Chain A
Amino acid sequence: MGHFRKEYKRLVSESVNALELRYRPETMNKDTDKATKVQNYKLMNKLQRMNQEASLNCWSYHQNSESSKAKNLARSFVELEDSTGSIAGRMIGDTIEMFLHRSAKRLVDITSSVLTYNIGHYEKGTYAGFGQRSYPQLSYVKDGFLDLVELSRSFKTDPIMNPFSSGTRLRDMIRAIRACKTAAEERAVVRKECAAIRAAISENDQDYRHRNLAKLMFIHMLGYPTHFGQMECLKLIASPGFPEKRIGYLGLMLLLDERQEVLMLVTNSIKQDLSHTNQYIVGLALCALGNICSAEMARDLAPEVERLLQFRDPNIRKKAALCSIRIIKKVPDLAENFITPAASLLKEKHHGVLLTGVQLCTDLCKVSTEALEYFRKKCTDGLVKVLKDVANSPYAPEYDVSGITDPFLHIRLLKLLRVLGQGDADASDSMNDILAQVATKTESNKNAGNAILYECVSTIMTIEENGGLRVLAVNILGRFLSSRDNNIRYVALNMLMKAITLDSQAVQRHRATILECVKDSDASIRKRALELVYLLVNESNVKSLTKELIDYLEISDPEFKGDLTAKICSIVEKFSPEKIWYIDQMLKVLPQAGNYVKDEVWHALIVVITNASDLHGYTVRSLYRALQTEGEQETLVRVAVWCIGEYGEMLVGNAGMLNQEDPITVTESDAVDVVETAIRRHSSDLTTRSMCLIALLKLSSRFPSCSQRINDIVIHYKESLVLELQQRAIEFNSIIEKHQNIRSALVERMPVLDEATYSGRRSGSVPAAVSTSQGAPLNLPNGVAKPTSAPLVDLLDLSSDDGPALSSSGGDFLQDLLGVDLSPASTQPGGNQAQKSGTDVLLDLLSIGTPPAQSSPSMADMLSPVEDNKSSVDILDKLGSPSGPPAQASPPVGSSPMMDLLDGFGPISSAPVAENNGPTYPALVAFESSSLRVTFNFSKQPGNPQTTLVEAQFVNKSPNAYSNFIFQAAVPKFLQLHLDPASSNTLPASGNGSITQKLRLTNSQHGKKSLVMRIRIGYKINDKDVLEEGQVNNFPRDL
């Protein structure tokens, strides 16, 4: 020993001196020749090895003197810029690590001095641009630093050595992975490691098996595949040593799963370990079993676990208890074996065992009614007593969580009592006292205390009725709501949501506090509270609650306004006691949050307004006032414009004044001003502008004095780039200018919209009536604007069409008009689609029932209406004059279609009803090319609105016959398509016959999305293949 010591000392000082002599920092420079460097490296290495040996022999006191030299040496190496330097950098780390492992005392001075130096050096290097050239070296220094910080921590507490670093290479690997700058680098490192581990596995390396597995677990955590290491777990578990077994079991839990056959192989090892003399090994086996046990394992090992429930050491007993839970969950049949041992666990004094025992009983009750009955009879009183003891126990520091003794045990006990008390009056009765005591005595200023209270409330809510306790429970929740802690408020709202079904009266008492939570700064709490308020609303409190919510609406966060508005609207609609209140509330919401109001909500509002005939004047005046102060809320503008259009004269004439109303003076031109502002408003969208145009048309008849002005505004839009507006402007302009005599009839006030039909339609399209906020688009304008605009459009279209349409017999007139509209659908696919986008509402306003497929010829005609529609003017005159008051005298034959049209107000406005009963749909030309026309006829099976039967008819327009005719169709996912065989596969030439084929389409999004289809048609002309393709998106909407 003495000799070695002396020898070591000599060697160290010699080599260090030699090195220092040659490599003092000042003599170091770049052109030091390589050989010397290598030599020095060797010396360094030797020195390091000696250090290593020295430390191994615990000669740490020597190192105190020698290390400073080593340190200096290392420092000088770090200054080198090439690979030698980086090796040196690494050596510093290694040397230090080595020392650290052996001697904690070394740590203090070496870390402080070397690290200070390293950091300084690192920074200096980086600043000097040094970093780029000698990156590896610096990264080692940096890494060494991180490593040391980490090491220094573990050694402060664990001075001898770190038992978990059973090798340095796991640490090395983690360090290397941490040093990676990019994912690709990381992958490369992991790949290299995995390759090495695979090699070790195939060599059946014993020594490093557990280290390799530990590495694999780290790699697994990062998300790389590690399946090749699975068998290693088994080998480790089977090995005798504790560290190997520990890593083996850990790997088993992390890398494997119960679905693997490997588990079969491990069963035997676990069985042996469950009977091991070392209780920690028994603990490991129990833990693994509790985490991954499969049904087979459960059957095989249940007796062992059952035996361990009576083991002398409490740590094993509690693990066995939780392991039993896993077993009975996997194989419920085994439950009965565990009932008696579980019951005996409830008499335990050890808190940990008691906790797990209670948990085991709770889970037994869940899987077995037999167990439930047993515990209910035999253990309820005992549990009540245990809870009483725990609740009254003096302060026990070891189980203390922020001042409360063992909250977890409280909670587990309360939970088991809940299970026992649910549905059993006797058991519930016996626990009333203790629940009351826990509910009143537990301190609620700490999270732990609140956790107990929360669990207690939950138990009170679940067990059999006891009014007094429930009130107590709800009061606790009420107190929670005023807590400053977000978490407490959050759980309280959750629990109140459950409580409301049990005792809404008690919850109602905390309405004010809940309302305060709607105004909370925490978004998730606001959301919860709003849902709760929504549940709290009833006929008696709707007025006060709505007032509160609407008041808050003004100051709420923009991102919360959407939710809040939806809920307010839904509440108002559902509970409104009278129409005027409903209208008033909506008139408060619209100016504040009109932009958040959903379409169906303002549609519903309009329906209500039309029905409240005594409130028309009041409503239109209120809207007018609102619009004066707030013109930027889209839906407010729409509703106001609609009402002014309909009830303009009541606005001006102060008609239908209510008592509480202040009179206002509005002139006709003021009313037109409002609409004009709205249509000119920059942010108005197409729907609003279209509605404005209709309103203007209506006003032109109501206010003759403003007629000229209105016409000027309308004319302005004849040049609109938006086709829809342009068309309206042109049509309306011609009505104003040329058809004075029928105008007043055309723009009569809307008929009252049927509320029942509307709500029927609505509930039909919205599965859950409660969720009005996300109801399907139910376009009321369908009903609103249809009667007025549909005949208009048809009329005007008619004017641009030529003879044949007019000459067709009267009864089919309307049909033909629609047909004319439809037929050229595919000739202008571009325009068609452009219009389709974003104009669904508009389609409804136009209400042709199909997308506005304007054929180019008719468009052209419309753009130059004056010149060549002489005939139509004639017709109109002819039609118009006798039928001034429409449909009275028996009209001449030619005019009957016109009559029908004008008369059409009534029937068409009730169209929705008709659609519900048995809708009919016009035929549709789905596809047309120069050689082929495809027509679709639709029918519906009664009682199955989702399914549409389509009969496709193919007509050959060319002079050649087609053979091998095949029709194919594709639909998006929300549709299902079934094709029946075609009637033939040859198509005679020149329309001398047709092929028909039936299709069945099921629309899973019925009412939300329209049908759409892509078609492909293949056939042969004179043995030449022809393929035609197209898309059909002009299906009637409600299919």
Chain B
Amino acid sequence: MIRGVIVMNDRGKPRLVKFYEFQPAEKQQELIRSIYRVLCSRAENVSNFVKVDSLFGQDVRLVYKTFATLYFVFIFDSSENELAMLDLMQVFVETLDKVFSNVCELDVVFNFNKVHTILEEFILGGQVLETNSSEVVKTVEEILKMERAANSIKVVPSIPGWQGR
């Protein structure tokens, strides 16, 4: 089972945090900080797997990968295949890239809930839901279309609010 997905930047700021088992908010922050400490102390040219038993309990490990300024971290237990997790992360990032066309940190920052929607199409309840990037893109686009349809109805009432700041 996948225990969590974290995206953070190279200074330790969380950009996307999703745990598939309940963690209280303070604990989440603590975990993010500890993981960041582990990651920034890793040398280059070492394997992408880290054992994190001390943080999550028996046999839990994480796989991380750096994309530009972002660390992508998947935390999972022994029932998952480490190498497959690495692939899944690759597919996830490729999908972000398709949806945002050349994704960068700012896309993730400002559209975190869109990223959540994409992640929901990949992982549900800690299990892999879909691994086909174009299938996910298709679904996400459908969702965007629906949002858009709903938004266009409400565009006019939203203007006064925009002005009033």
B102-144 contact mask (Cβ, 8 Å, vs A): 1 or 0: 1010110111111011001000110111111011000100111
- Please judge, given known A-B contacts A223-B29, A280-B146, A522-B46, whether A164 and B124 are in contact too, CB under 8 Å: no
- Contact call B49/A487, Cβ cutoff below 8 A: yes
- Contact call B17/A154, Cβ cutoff below 8 A: no
Minimum CB–CB distance for A532 against chain B, Å: 15
- Please judge, given known A-B contacts A225-B25, A242-B150, A398-B135, whether A521 and B124 are in contact too, CB under 8 Å: no
Residues of A within 8 A of B46 (CB): 486, 522-525
- Contact call A163/B151, Cβ cutoff below 8 A: yes
- Contact call B48/A487, Cβ cutoff below 8 A: yes
A576 within 8 Å of B (CB atoms): no
B43 within 8 Å of A (CB atoms): yes
Residues of B within 8 A of A521 (CB): 45
A276-291 contact mask (Cβ, 8 Å, vs B): 1 or 0: 0010100000110011
Residues of B within 8 A of A165 (CB): 110
- Contact call A398/B134, Cβ cutoff below 8 A: yes
The 8 Å CB contact of A491, one of B49, B106, B127, is B49
- Contact call B86/A163, Cβ cutoff below 8 A: no
Residues of A within 8 A of B157 (CB): 207
**A154 to B111, alpha carbons, bound, how many Å?**
10
A78 within 8 Å of B (CB atoms): no
**A250 to B113, alpha carbons, bound, how many Å?**
8
Residues of A within 8 A of B49 (CB): 487, 490-491, 524
Minimum CB–CB distance for B135 against chain A, Å: 7
- Contact call A243/B147, Cβ cutoff below 8 A: yes
A49 within 8 Å of B (CB atoms): yes
Pick the most buried of A286, A290, A455: most chain B CB atoms within 10 A of its CB. A290
Residues of B within 8 A of A352 (CB): 129-132, 135
**A166 to B152, alpha carbons, bound, how many Å?**
10
Minimum CB–CB distance for A357 against chain B, Å: 11
Residues of A within 8 A of B125 (CB): 290-291, 322-323, 325-326
Residues of A within 8 A of B16 (CB): 221
Minimum CB–CB distance for B93 against chain A, Å: 12
Minimum CB–CB distance for B16 against chain A, Å: 8
- Contact call A408/B106, Cβ cutoff below 8 A: no
**A448 to B100, alpha carbons, bound, how many Å?**
25
- Contact call B112/A218, Cβ cutoff below 8 A: yes
A146 within 8 Å of B (CB atoms): yes
B158 within 8 Å of A (CB atoms): yes
A172 within 8 Å of B (CB atoms): yes
- Contact call B81/A291, Cβ cutoff below 8 A: no
**A21 to B110, alpha carbons, bound, how many Å?**
39
Counting residue pairs across A and B whose Cβ atoms lie within 8 Å, the total is 212
- Contact call B129/A164, Cβ cutoff below 8 A: no
**A826 to B134, alpha carbons, bound, how many Å?**
80
A423-456 contact mask (Cβ, 8 Å, vs B): 1 or 0: 0000000000000000000000001101100110
- Contact call A318/B129, Cβ cutoff below 8 A: yes
Minimum CB–CB distance for A86 against chain B, Å: 14
- Contact call A241/B82, Cβ cutoff below 8 A: no
**A602 to B115, alpha carbons, bound, how many Å?**
59
Task: Give the interface residue-count category, chain A.
Answer: 35 or more
Q: Which chain B residue shows the least CB distance to A213?
A: B113
Residues of B within 8 A of A247 (CB): 113
- Please judge, given known A-B contacts A243-B151, A359-B127, A455-B81, whether A259 and B100 are in contact too, CB under 8 Å: no
A168 within 8 Å of B (CB atoms): yes
The 8 Å CB contact of A167, one of B20, B45, B162, is B162
- Contact call B26/A223, Cβ cutoff below 8 A: yes
The 8 Å CB contact of B87, one of A220, A221, A407, is A407
- Contact call A280/B112, Cβ cutoff below 8 A: no
B54 within 8 Å of A (CB atoms): no
The 8 Å CB contact of A156, one of B24, B88, B101, B155, is B101
Task: Give the interface residue-count category, chain B.
Answer: 35 or more
**A221 to B15, alpha carbons, bound, how many Å?**
8
B165 within 8 Å of A (CB atoms): yes
Residues of B within 8 A of A524 (CB): 46-47, 49-50
- Contact call A257/B110, Cβ cutoff below 8 A: no
Minimum CB–CB distance for B28 against chain A, Å: 7
**A149 to B157, alpha carbons, bound, how many Å?**
28
**A221 to B131, alpha carbons, bound, how many Å?**
26
Residues of A within 8 A of B145 (CB): 163
**A161 to B26, alpha carbons, bound, how many Å?**
36
- Contact call B147/A217, Cβ cutoff below 8 A: no
**A351 to B135, alpha carbons, bound, how many Å?**
11
Q: Which chain A residue shows the least CB distance to B84?
A: A451
A134-171 contact mask (Cβ, 8 Å, vs B): 1 or 0: 00000000000010011001101110110111111101
**A49 to B159, alpha carbons, bound, how many Å?**
11
Q: Which chain A residue shows the least CB distance to B158?
A: A167
- Contact call B127/A325, Cβ cutoff below 8 A: yes
Residues of A within 8 A of B90 (CB): 401-402
The 8 Å CB contact of A315, one of B109, B139, B163, is B139
11 pairs, CB–CB < 8 Å, chain A vs chain B: A56-B155, A153-B101, A217-B113, A221-B16, A221-B17, A222-B14, A242-B146, A448-B83, A524-B47, A524-B49, A525-B47
Additional A-B contact list (14), CB under 8 Å, known A149-B106, A167-B161, A454-B83: A150-B109, A163-B147, A164-B144, A214-B113, A243-B146, A243-B151, A315-B139, A319-B129, A322-B124, A323-B125, A359-B127, A408-B87, A490-B49, A491-B49
Residues on B close to A: CB < 8 A? Answer: 14-18, 20, 22, 24-26, 28-29, 43, 45-50, 79, 81-84, 86-88, 90-91, 99-102, 104, 106-107, 109-114, 116-117, 120, 124-125, 127-132, 134-135, 139, 142-148, 150-151, 154-159, 161-163, 165
Residues on A close to B: CB < 8 A? Answer: 49, 52, 56, 146, 149-150, 153-154, 156-158, 160-161, 163-169, 171-172, 174, 178, 207-208, 214, 217-218, 220-223, 225-226, 241-243, 246-247, 250, 254, 257-259, 278, 280, 286-287, 290-291, 315, 318-319, 322-323, 325-326, 351-352, 355-356, 359, 398-399, 401-402, 406-409, 411-412, 415, 447-448, 450-451, 454-455, 458, 486-491, 521-525
Closest 7 CB pairs of A and B: A451-B83, A290-B125, A486-B47, A163-B147, A223-B29, A257-B22, A490-B47
